[in-house]
Structure 1
């Protein structure tokens, strides 16, 4: 794996250097659009609707169109003025019980690797989260966007899960459910019996993506058979900085004292 971000977790006065890796991957087979006649790739040009010229990426800015019809153009300088968490720091904001985190808020997951020859602070934070059975709410800035995220432990490794903001979750308002009668005792008992007969421990390895498996089989068979559907293609043409060793006991003590003064 290749890290996509490098920084540190700010846990009170304790600094935990980390590297960030994408924890999941898309295994879907992706396709390109081609000309049905000769199999040539379809290319798209960035054409300006005003002058009709093809525009280079360096000459492209972002624009917002208001409901009233006004188009507002912003440059990188405008975006740099926006408030954001420290770009290379993940500050811990609060610790909350696991059950208070609604799964619908969970977005993308990232693995955190200790970026130090002495990862004692990393192990301490991971062990603490496991012992208290809580998650740490943090700020995480990635690709110029600040996100709220949950820091948890999975198999001894710190995992960062970005969260949706509350206003990004739609309200489920279905009028058809308003006047439905509640299930009766007999119906509930039968449903519970059915659930009990189908219950078991979850093992994700028991489930497979049959669609992708069959699609891969079709592709392999088509390549092996050759013919008009197969087009020959032309052949396409470590930084490590150890962090200073942290005096964990002293840093934690100062953090506790600072939190006490803040609470008082």
Structure 2
């Protein structure tokens, strides 16, 4: 096992170095969501409700909402709190075991003794056993100050978190006042006696999880499964994901439209032809001739070059005028970006 915390148990002048390990784990079978048609995985995205973008963890801060206003706290501000650096389990009181209400108990952890000698660890465990006491402690785990108890678990010390008193809900209901006869109470005690015995948790099983495992194993044996890699689908590019399913803002749409328009113009107009429109038209005609010649070679037919006519010249002028209009349109797109 891997330790999740290390520190010291302190009471009076006694320090007991320990490491903290999670004592429990879930036996439940975990599921993930898939599309019922193609079995593609369904994931939860961290999407900002203002800009509509998916946000990485490094750009996410914590915030508190009091109903009218929201206060944002950065990681730096949270790390500056003094509870972050506390690595001690402080024993504040020893109480009788029966005084700890089980409803307050939370997560359980094992404490491992650290160092060459575990005498202080064994002494504390034996003291709790002999006095039938439970140690009430305070400690910090994952940036939160917690209340807990030290109890005995075999040869080890176990740490259990306690819920703070304010965490318990107040209820406004209760049983109605009913009269219980002596005969009813005697019969109830007799029934309890029939079901009495020593507690052995190993004799109990989770029937639902056992039947669920049998169902999964049967479907695997019968071939009713799909390749796990196929459920992830193909990785799409940033452009496809932005336009295909991700919500984009108006500014994103305008910026991409302008970039797309500029890229189309640059692909139509070579670097050498930016000086004049006449050179651009002659370069285009030359590339057209080369393309026609290449096509003719591939098909085995001869390419006849059309004669230059006055109408061809006027067509070139129209093409140049269209380019001027396209450039003006690009300028308007930039203006739309600024206004947005």
Whether contact under 8 Å (1:85, 1:140) holds in the other structure is: no
| Corresponding position: 1:15 with 2:15 | yes
Q: Which has the higher contact order (CA 8 A, sep 6+)?
A: 1
Deviations 1:182-228 (A, max 9, x none): 3111111111111112211111111111100000000011011113x
Structure 1 residues without counterparts, runs of 5 or longer: 236-264
Aligned length: 230
TM-score by length of 1: 0.82
* Alpha-carbon separation, structure 1, partners of 2:85 and 2:133: 24
Tell me the distance in 2 between the aligned counterparts of 1:114 and 1:128. Answer: 16
The structure with the largest strand share of the pair is: 1
Q: CA RMSD in A?
A: 1.7
The answer to whether the 8 A contact 1:110-1:161 is kept is yes
| Higher-Rg member (1/2) | 2
Query: In structure 2, which of residues 221, 228, 233 is the aligned counterpart of residue 233 of structure 1?
Result: 228
**What SS is found at the alignment partner of 2:178?**
coil
Query: Deviation at 1:82?
Result: 4.1
Work out the CA distance in 2 between the residues paired with 1:44 and 1:196: 52
Please name the residue that 1:251 is paired with. Answer: none
- The equivalent position to 1:215 in structure 2, one of 212, 217, 220, is 212
Taking structure 2 as the reference length, the TM-score comes to 0.65
Q: 2:186 & 2:40 partners in 1: Cα distance? A: 61
2: CA distance, partners of 1:83 / 1:197: 55
Q: Give the match for residue 78 of structure 2.
A: 79
Could you report, residue by residue, the CA deviation over 1:106-142 in whole angstroms, capped at 9, with x for unpaired residues? 0010000011121111111111111111011111211
* SS of aligned partner of 2:83: coil
Aligned-partner Cα distance in 2 for 1:107–1:79: 24
Secondary structure of the 1:84 match is helix
Secondary structure of residue in 2 paired with 1:148: strand
Change in Cα spacing, 1:80 to 1:86, as seen in structure 2 (3 Å) is: closer
Instruction: Return the alpha-carbon distance in structure 1 between the equivalents of residues 103 and 122 of structure 2.
Output: 29
Shift of 1:85: 7.7
Determine which structure has the larger helix proportion and give its number.
2
Task: Report the Cα distance in structure 1 between the residues aligned to 2:126 and 2:161, rounded to whole angstroms.
Answer: 21
Structure 1 consecutive aligned stretches of length 4 or more whose deviation exceeds 6 Å: none
2:30 counterpart residue number: 30
Residue ranges of structure 2 left out of the alignment (5+ in a row): 231-340
Q: Equivalents in 1 of 2:104, 2:26: separation in Å?
A: 20
The separation in 2 between residues aligned to 1:206 and 1:223, in whole angstroms, is: 29
Q: Determine if contact 2:84/2:143 at 8 Å carries over to the other structure.
A: no
Q: What displacement does 1:36 show?
A: 1.3
